[in-house]
Amino acid sequence: MSIRDVQRRSWWLLGLGVWAVSAQAQSTACDNVMDICGQADTTLTTASPMDLPGADALNGVFDANRVQVVKFHTTFFQQFAEPTEPVQVVFSNVNCPNPLKAQVFQPNPFDLCNAAEYAALSDTWEISSDTALFSFPLYQNSDYVLLVGSSGGSCATDVRLEGLAVSIDACCASTLDYGETASVEVLGSDPDLGFEWNPAELATMVDNQLAELNPFETTTFEVTGYVEGCAYTDAVLIAVGSPIDVPNAFSPNNDAFNDTWDIYGLSQFPTSTIEVFDRWGQSVYRSVSYPNPWAGKNRGVDVPAGTYYYVIHLNEPNANLAPITGHVAVIR
């Protein structure tokens, strides 16, 4: 390669470098819009110039020379025309020599960055330390803009959105008898995007937003739904009563009344085992599936009156049920 070719190549590379620096310098706030979801911490920096189209409309309202434009989308619970729920904006780890400015706006959904069309949906906040602030009530299933700005240079903060406007709701907690099923409706997310349940094997979607939950014991279910690329999770507690009813006393005195220890519901667990111990820990009775109720005997001999202790293993093949323990009084 000749010296002239080397010079031409150097000039060409230098031109590329100047173009790249120029393109970077021309980066605008709208090139750096950040999409965030509720229920998640996001770190942002006010690194872009405050050069939004129509930014003059914010003079005296939102004064800053550096800004981060944040877009978020509200969830939806029902069809309503009026705004109902605010969003809580939580700021933490604020790193800025001067107070940050922040404000929530409703934009033109077809021109997100046009500040001339912003409608303020919160006060203008000044943030210098960890704090949590509320917007005005918001519409469901809508786009909003949070502006975070600074004066004099780039600053950083963590932001988290909380509240019903950026959440889903699994309704409602309930108490069941063993073997019953709970119906739970999941509101707030887009049902067309589906749901993920945990534990999944005990939950079945029977309609767009309705699930049937079939726990064998008290269980906290978690469900995740989706809105505009965001995942939201809620939990619901389903309490399950004891699958069996164990009396705490019986009187085996041959009066034809309460002579045996009748455990109700145990017959639905054909592989269950039950063992009874005296106060010294010696086994006095053991049975599999409990075909004949205990009559207060140990190897055909009446046990003394007193308190005995039992352990019942239900051995349910479809669930890992904890042993049932307690005490029973033999009254003579």
Residue 188 near residue 77, CB atoms below 8 Å: yes
Report the top-level CATH class of 249-330: mainly beta
Predicted TM-score (pTM) of the model is 0.76
How far is Cα 271 from Cα 264, in angstroms, rounded to an integer? 15
pLDDT of residue 178: 87
Provide the β-strand partners of residue 138.
85
Per-residue tokens: 98 = 């001067």
Topology (CATH) of 169-240? Immunoglobulin-like (2.60.40)
- Rounded Cα distance between 85 and 43, Å, is 24
So what's the pLDDT on residue 319? 75
Low-confidence residues of the chain: pLDDT under 70: 1-27, 78-82
- Domain-wise residue ranges, the chain: 28-166, 169-240, 249-330
pLDDT at 79: 55
Token reading at 291 = 């075909």
- Nearest-5° angle of CA 38, CA 44, CA 47? 145
**Among 117, 102, 115, 116, which residue's Cα sits nearest to residue 64?**
102
Residue 254 in tokens: 């041959």
258-273 b/e (C-beta count within 10 Å ≥ 16 → b): eeebebeebeebeebb
* Same CATH fold assignment for domains 169-240 and 249-330: yes
Rounded to whole angstroms, the Cα distance separating 204 from 197 reads: 9
- Paired sense of beta strands 273-277 and 119-120, if any: unpaired
pLDDT computed for residue 29 by the predictor: 84
Percent of the chain with pLDDT over 70: 90
Q: Which CATH class is domain 28-166?
A: mainly beta
Start-to-end Cα distance in the chain? 114
Contacting residues for 206 by C-beta, under 8 A, at least 6 apart: 183, 212
